[in-house]
Every structure is written in structure tokens, then in C-alpha cells.
Amino acid sequence: MDLSFLTDTAIFKILVDIMPTGIRFHPYYILPFIGMGFLIYMLKRKSGKAEGSFWGWLFPKEYYKHRSTLLDTQLFLFGRALVLFKVINRLAIATFMAAIIMMIFKDSPAEKPEQLTPINIALMTLMLTLISDFCVYWVHRIHHEKNFLWPFHAVHHSAEIMTPMTVYRKHPLYDLFSSIFSGILIGVAQGLFIAVFFGTVSIAAIAGVNGFYFLFNFLGSNFRHSHIWISYGKTIEHILISPAQHQIHHSLKPEHHNKNFGEIFAFWDWMFGTLFIPDKEEIIEYGIARPDGSGQRIKQPHNNFKEALIVPFKESARALKRSKNKRSKP
């Protein structure tokens, strides 16, 4: 039976936009999450560290009924709507910038189809992944270090519990700024790298160098925002960010603040002095910590969808005003 007519419907196309393969709870990534979760559950159950049913352990009701998860879901749907209506599209920005750079270098002597060997393509993919991850590191870090930007990223850190949905707990302005900043940098780097070293490649090839990210998501990225501790060990955690390291990044403990900004690779944190590798499994509380270094959680500033959208603008304006007043003092 020919069911192709279903894929031509507007509803199907909308669903594809809302739930593309880049979404971390796409079946491609949730199924490995369940499979790996089952193995971890069996090991923990054998050692007496897990109780109850597997499904209750992997998807605790108290987590998924929590008001924090409700806000995660609302912000996810709002964010997907913005993507659907092309308000936020990092890939489009990066592709546009790469196309401009490639046009500038269109007469480069490197423009030889035979140069696009499998080895060159693999090298190009690796380099573009490194460039992309480097940009992610700095966009993330800047949002922590600049007082007027922090309120927009604080929406993500105000999560009091973590589930795979928490990765989409983002203020739209954070997504927009990240898309513009990283999109421009990634696009310029992509265009230069391709034009200078490997000649002109189709724009589709630029958009398709996401194999590393697919593998990253497939191999358990959903554990990063979860209650399940997975450490890779000290050696590997100098190279790759483990789920445990990202959970450390969300921790209230003062010694964990402003650590582990990386998404895939840990060596950016290692190079720039922000790497934290835990010695053992830690009990972590999440939320926004008080600025006094006590490790205590502040009063929740984002109790609902409206506050999550509006409060950051007010806090950012106050931060800019404080900065202006400091500069104006003799």
C-alpha cells in the first residue's frame, strides 16, 4: 500500500519540523537511553543501589509531575514554534555565512573535486565539529560571565530537577543570541575551511556534517539532564564531557560553579581552566545558587511560563543599569 500521501500532508511536515532527528527525545535517542538505562539499572540493582521497577527508576513520577518539568515542556513547545516559523535557525545563519565565504574564495586553487577524498571529508567533518563545539563552549561561558546575559541563561539553571526535557528549558533570547553568534562564527569557519583546504562543496554537504552530533545524542546525551550519574573516569573526562560532569555544572555547590561549559569535548574546559572532574559520585541539588557562596538555592524566579519569559528582561536591565552606574562613578 502506498502511504506516501501521508508524508505530503501539512500536519506531517509540521511534525517533522517539531520533532526532527536533532531533538534529543526523538526515538533514535530515547531508545538507546532506555537500553543503556536498563543496563545501568541492572548493575545498580545487583549492588543494592536501585529499588522498585525499572520504569519507575528510569522515569520517576515525582520528576515528571514536578512543576519544573511542566515549565521545561512549555519552553520546549514555545522554542519549537519559533523554529517552525523560522524565527530561530542557527543552521540557516551558518549556511548563509559559509556560502558567502565560499563565494569570496570561489577562485581558490583548492577548487578541485578530486581533493574531496573520504579522508579529507572525514577530516573536514572532525574539524567542523571541533569548531562548532568551541563556539558552543564560549557562547555558554559568556552567558555565565556577563551579568546582563546571565538572566536569560538562568532560566535553564533554575530547573530544580533534571529530565531529558530540561535541555530545552531555554529563554528564546538565549537561543536567538546563541544562534546568531555561533551561527556566524561556525559559518565563517566552515566557509574558510572548505574553500581554502577542500574547494567548493555543496551547501547540503555543509548542513550534513552532523554525524558527530548524531553519535553524541545516540550514545546517551539524555543522561546529562537526568537523575542518573554516569562518569567516564578521570582520563576520558579530560577529553569528553560525561553526564556526571554536566550535572556538576548545574550543581548548587560553590566549588562546582562556572565549571564544565563544554558540550561534547572537555578539553576546552581543560585548556581554559574551567574543568571539574569529580572523584566519586556526588549527591547534587539543582537550581540557582545565592551569590554569597553559601551553596543555598535562591527563591525560584521562574515559577511559570510568563515569569520565565519576562523576568530575565527585568534582571538584565537592572544588570545593565548597575554596570552603567559603576562606569559613571569618578
pLDDT tens track for 42-57: 999 999 888 899 999 9
Mean pLDDT of 65-72: 96
pLDDT tens track for 135-164: 889 999 999 999 999 999 999 999 999 999
Mean pLDDT of 228-232: 95
pLDDT at position 208 = 47
**Number of domains making up the chain:** 1
Helix (H, G, I), strand (E, B) or coil at 317: helix
6: pLDDT strictly greater than 50: no
64: pLDDT strictly greater than 90: yes
pLDDT at position 291 = 85
Residues spanned by the domain of 266: 22-34+56-321
> In this structure, is residue 183 part of a structural domain?
yes
pLDDT band at 168 (very low <50, low <70, confident <90, very high): very high
pLDDT tens track for 271-289: 999 999 999 999 999 999 9
> In this structure, is residue 178 part of a structural domain?
yes
> In this structure, is residue 47 part of a structural domain?
no
pLDDT band at 10 (very low <50, low <70, confident <90, very high): very low
- 119-124: long-range contacts (C-beta < 8 A, 24 or more apart)? 120/197, 120/198, 121/198, 124/193, 124/194, 124/197, 124/198, 124/209
More confident position, 10 or 328? 328
3-state SS of the chain? CCCHHHHCCHHHHHHHHHCCCCCCCCHHHHHHHHHHHHHHHHHHHHCCCCCCCHHHHHCCHHHHCCHHHHHHHHHHHHHHHHHHCCCCCHHHHHHHHHHHHHHHCCCCCCCCHHHCCHHHHHHHHHHHHHHHHHHHHHHHHHHHHCCCCHHHHHHHHCCCCCCHHHHHCCCHHHHHHHHHHHHHHHHHHHHHHHHHHHCCCCHHHHHCCCHHHHHHHHCCHHHCCCCCCCCCCCCHHHCECCHHHHHHHCECCHHHCCCCCCCCECHHHHHHCCCCCCCCCCCCCECCECCCCCCCECCCCCCCHHHHHHHHHHHHHHHHHHHHHHHHCC
> In this structure, is residue 1 part of a structural domain?
no
pLDDT at position 180 = 81
Mean pLDDT of 180-204: 68
Mean pLDDT of 164-185: 87
**What is d(CA 206, CA 191) in angstroms, rounded to the nearest whole number?**
9
Mean pLDDT of 227-254: 96
pLDDT tens track for 69-102: 999 999 999 988 887 765 555 666 777 777 777 7
More confident position, 40 or 17? 40
247: pLDDT strictly greater than 90: yes
What does pTM read for this prediction?
0.83
> In this structure, is residue 135 part of a structural domain?
yes
pLDDT at position 144 = 96
Mean pLDDT of the chain: 82
> In this structure, is residue 43 part of a structural domain?
no
> In this structure, is residue 15 part of a structural domain?
no
204: pLDDT strictly greater than 50: no
What is the distance in angstroms between the CA of the first residue and the CA of the last residue of the chain? 79
More confident position, 17 or 240? 240
Mean pLDDT of 119-135: 78
15: pLDDT strictly greater than 50: no
Neighbours of 112 (CB within 10 A): 11
14: pLDDT strictly greater than 70: no
Lowest mean pLDDT: which of 63-67, 204-208, 224-228, 265-269?
204-208
104: pLDDT strictly greater than 90: no
Strand partners for 251: 286
> In this structure, is residue 10 part of a structural domain?
no
